[in-house]
Amino acid sequence: MVANKSIKVILYEDNPDMREGLSAFLASTKGFELAGSFVNCTDSETHVQALQPDIILMDIEMPEVNGLEGIQKIRATNGDVKIIMLTVFEDNQNVFNAICSGANGYLLKKSSPEQIITAIHEVLAGGSPMTPSIASKVLKLLSDSNLSSRQKQDYGLTPREKEILQSLVNGNSYKMISAEQNISIDTVKTHLKKIYQKLHVHSQTEAVAKALNNKII
């Protein structure tokens, strides 16, 4: 973060007591700015574009458009903003879906305000903060034989599409993929659009997660 620049936070939480309490805490904490708080993710991509937050704190269970759908909506247009899930759910499916969709951290609501602030600083420093019990579940998921032993699939990807997907997994930007493959950035985007369609994903994070988990490359 730039020195003296407040950390801008958007909060998505449908429980009024939780939303108001956390909003008041963030607004009164030095170095933080509450950019907005909302009851669901119906207009999440518009909020992110208009308010330009550094951090999003997001519940999972919300009316109309929930947190998992919200991550996907945001990641379809913004791969940079940091998203920390703040929820009561600690089952494997919700944890796995949130992380694969592009969440950067996962905290339970029983976390103290101080723990939430620490997690925000950690994620901005490049970390992936998680409540200890959630971290244990993630490690188990990653080592689960059902994931590691899945048969290799290609989803009908062409050799060139596999090369571009591999480059994406390697962390390369569109510009780097363009130079590596000797094609224009527009062509890279066209290939990625087809890759996303074939993998049935909506974002770069989802594509990478699916490529690794399903041994596509």
Write the CATH number for 49.
3.40.50.2300
Question: Can you tell me the mean pLDDT for 96-123?
Answer: 89
Lowest model confidence (mean pLDDT) among 46-50, 55-59, 133-137, 207-211: 133-137
Q: What is the pLDDT of residue 145?
A: 47
Mean pLDDT estimate for the chain: 86
DSSP E strand stretches across 65-205: 82-87, 105-108
Identify the band that residue 153 occupies on the pLDDT scale cut at 50, 70 and 90. Answer: low
Residue 186 has pLDDT above 90, yes or no: yes
pLDDT tens per residue, range 25-48? 999 999 999 999 999 999 999 999
Is residue 137 domain-shared with residue 168, that is, in the same domain?
A: no
Residue 149 within any structural domain of the chain = no
Check residues 166 and 150 and name the one with the higher pLDDT: 166
Is residue 121 domain-shared with residue 169, that is, in the same domain?
A: no
Question: Can you tell me the mean pLDDT for 142-146?
Answer: 56
**Contact criterion met (CB below 8 Å) for 144 and 158:** no
Task: State which of 93-107, 119-133, 142-156, 177-191 shows the largest mean pLDDT.
Answer: 177-191
Question: Can you tell me the mean pLDDT for 202-209?
Answer: 80
Q: Which amino acid type is present at position 100?
A: C
Residue 89 within any structural domain of the chain = yes
Identify the band that residue 141 occupies on the pLDDT scale cut at 50, 70 and 90. Answer: low
Is residue 82 domain-shared with residue 177, that is, in the same domain?
A: no
DSSP state of 153: -
Question: Can you tell me the mean pLDDT for 183-212?
Answer: 88
Residue 151 within any structural domain of the chain = no
Is residue 128 domain-shared with residue 182, that is, in the same domain?
A: no
Residue 152 has pLDDT above 60, yes or no: no
Q: Is 108 left (phi over 0), alpha (psi -120 to 50) or beta?
A: beta
Distance, C-alpha 107 to centroid of its chain:
13
Domain termination site, one of 112, 143, 174 = 143
Q: How many domains does the chain have?
A: 2
CATH number at residue 174: 1.10.10.10
d(CA 71, CA 66): 9
Check residues 119 and 2 and name the one with the higher pLDDT: 119
Residue 207's domain comprises: 159-213
Residue 203, φ and ψ in degrees, nearest 5: -150, 165
Residue 34 within any structural domain of the chain = yes
Reported as type and span, the H/E element at residue 58 is strand 55-58
Is residue 33 domain-shared with residue 95, that is, in the same domain?
A: yes
Residue 174 within any structural domain of the chain = yes
Domain termination site, one of 143, 171, 193 = 143
Sign of the Cα pseudo-torsion (203, 206, 212, 216, in order): negative
Residue 20 within any structural domain of the chain = yes
Side-by-side strand order, sheet with 55-58: 32-38, 7-12, 55-58, 82-87, 105-108
Is residue 135 domain-shared with residue 166, that is, in the same domain?
A: no
